Amino acid sequence: MSGRDLDSTHSQFLLSPPRQRHRSSCPILLLPLTALLAAVAVILLCNPLSNDDTVPVLSPAPSSRGAPAGVSEKSTSGMLGSAPAFPWTNNMLAFQRTAFHFQPEKNWMNDPDGPLFYKGWYHLFYQYNPASSVWGNIAWGHAVSRDLINWEHLSVAMMPDRWYDFNGVWSGSATILPDGRLVMLYTGSTHESVQVQNIAFPADPADPLLLHWVKSDEHNPVISPPEGIQFEDFRDPTTAWHSGEDSGTWLLAIGSKNDSGEHAGMALVYRTRDFVSYEPVAGVLHSVAGTGMWECVDLYPVHTEASFGLDTSAASAPAVRHVLKVSLDDDKHDYYGIGRYYAENNSWVPDDPDLDIGVGFRLDYGKYYAAKSFYDQNKRRRVVWGWSGESDSEQADMLKGWASVQTIPRTVLFDVETGSNLLLWPVEELDTLRFSGKNFTNLPLPAHTVKLLEFAETTQVF
């Protein structure tokens, strides 16, 4: 089913979403109470209370919209039931605001999108709800930094304002072409909730801040779900890479699943020469039974004998392996494998089958999901971002007025000592946050002893 054939009545692109029609099945007598509760909740959110004021939760958390929409998001409302709300105070809520991790000034955030270094600036785009602190109305937030630590918030980069992304501008990746041009591929959820792949370009490529973006109405959607793939199981295109010796052909992977084949998660590959016309590559890049939907697929090379990063299109070599990272929708964790990528037959093969996707290493063992990496050509390193959805309830998020943080960006290297796993470490710029230090040298440490060291108070970051 072609994305262009979804609905002949939508030949004109929607510049703003139409009004949603709602039907109420509640008795009319309940409406005034509902309106009163909503009004009180708005007053509580918009008018700060004193630090000693207790903030009760006046209404149940909103029902999750992520699962019906076919995308991951945080929702604890189903587990809360009728449990009494914790008596948060403004002081408690303010204390949760992070000092070092990236987060928007307010509202909901999830997956990192299209990170890149461009004309002297690091760019981070991210899944963002401009109107609320719960998932929905997903747009692309945007921030820039000189050092990956101190960030400037910019205006929203892309809103869900076309029929092909009417239900959300979802995750995507940036590709920088050899001549410096930049193309962004992202998943749009259409007005009929079909997941399609779209392209967007900077309105002014000379602008280092990339403030404005232009969606290709002429061509979008550029890729629609192929035959045999459910409309809600086809998302999150990767950064594109060169196809073997043919530098004019580009390849990219998209996550999916095959429920008719042992609930297998998989990555499908497409080729293009102009980022407008695409064709599927025969076969499946990789698939693992029982892993379910693969989201936020990432495929990139690592050097097995050196401590620097590699461009996504780096050629295969004896000292090069390829990392395949996926986010498993079933358990909300990020897994990766290390193996060989074979462009000639469109396959990725793990070095150790016992460490395959979903049964081997996780990228992080905390609350961490939807990781996205990029090659930083400025410092010749690979940097990865990850979304931490925290563990607050949606009720608490609504009271705070914000939800989620990004982890500290980390460099990615192959562990030459073990030869089997990755090493992730906070970017070196994090050291600029240190304002004092204390060195301990020549300390005798006999076996089976404990040596107490005197430190000032410290802050731990992840």
For residue range 263-274, list pLDDT tens digits in order: 999 999 999 999
Upper half-sphere CA count for residue 275 (Cβ side, 13 Å): 23
The reply to whether 452 falls in a domain is no
Range 2-8, long-range pairs (CB < 8 A, 24+ positions): 2/224, 3/164, 3/190, 3/194, 3/196, 3/220, 3/221, 3/223, 3/224, 4/221, 4/224, 6/163, 6/190, 6/191, 6/192, 6/194, 7/163, 7/191, 7/192
Residue 33 domain flag: no
Alpha-carbon distance of 42 to 36, in angstroms, equals 10
Q: Residues 6 or more apart from 20 whose CB is under 8 A from it?
A: none
> According to the model, what pLDDT value does residue 83 have?
54
Q: What is the DSSP letter of 66?
A: H
Euclidean distance between CA atoms 217 and 66, whole angstroms:
26
Element (H, E) at 284: none
Tokens 């959300």 map to which residue?
168
State the virtual CA torsion across 95, 99, 105, 111 in degrees, nearest 10: -110
Contact indicator for 221, 199 with CB cutoff of 8 Å: no
- Per the structure, the complete domain to which residue 159 belongs is given by 107-430
**Distance (Å, whole) CA 67 – CA 370:** 16
Whether omega for the bond prior to residue 208 falls within 30 degrees of 0, making it cis, is no
Q: What is the spatial distance between Cα 186 and Cα 179, in angstroms, rounded to a whole number?
A: 21
In a domain, 17, yes or no: no
Q: Is residue 310 part of a domain?
A: yes
Residue 23 to residue 27: CA distance in whole angstroms? 12
One-letter amino acid of 62: P
**pLDDT value at residue 410:** 98
Residue-level pLDDT at 68? 58
- From CA 247, how far away is CA 269, in angstroms rounded? 17
**What are 310's two structure tokens?**
């590699």
Residue 112 three-state SS: strand
How is residue 435 written in tokens? 């304002």
In a domain, 224, yes or no: yes
What pLDDT shows up at residue 460? Answer: 61
The token pair at 95 is 């204390």
Residue 431 Cα to chain centre, angstroms? 25
Residue 62 CB neighbour total at 10 angstroms: 16
Angle at 3 between CA 162 and CA 330, to 5 degrees: 90
Domain with 256 in it: what CATH number?
Answer: 2.115.10.20
Q: pLDDT tens-digit profile of 305-348? A: 999 999 999 988 999 999 999 999 999 999 999 999 999 999 99
User: Structural domain tally of the chain?
Assistant: 1
Catalytic residue among 7, 53, 111, 246: 111
Would residue 167 count as lying in a domain? yes
Query: Tokens 């700060």 appear where?
Result: 48
pLDDT of amino acid 374: 98
Cα distance between residue 353 and residue 363, in whole Å:
17
**What is the C-alpha separation between 37 and 366, in angstroms, rounded?**
36
Domain presence at residue 59: no
Examine residue 37 and state whether it is found in any structural domain, yes or no: no
Q: Is residue 431 annotated as a catalytic residue, yes or no?
A: no
Separation CA 208–CA 188 (nearest Å):
25
In the numeric block, which tokens belong to residue 194? Answer: 């079909």
Q: DSSP letter string over 155-212?
A: --SB-S-SGGGTT-EEEEEEEE-TTS-EEEEEEEE-TT--EEEEEEEES-TT-TT---
Partners of residue 142 on adjacent β-strands: 125
* Residue numbers in the chain where pLDDT is lower than 50: 1-64, 75-82
Locate the DSSP E strands across 59-156. 88-89, 107-118, 121-129, 139-145, 151-153
Residue type, 46: C
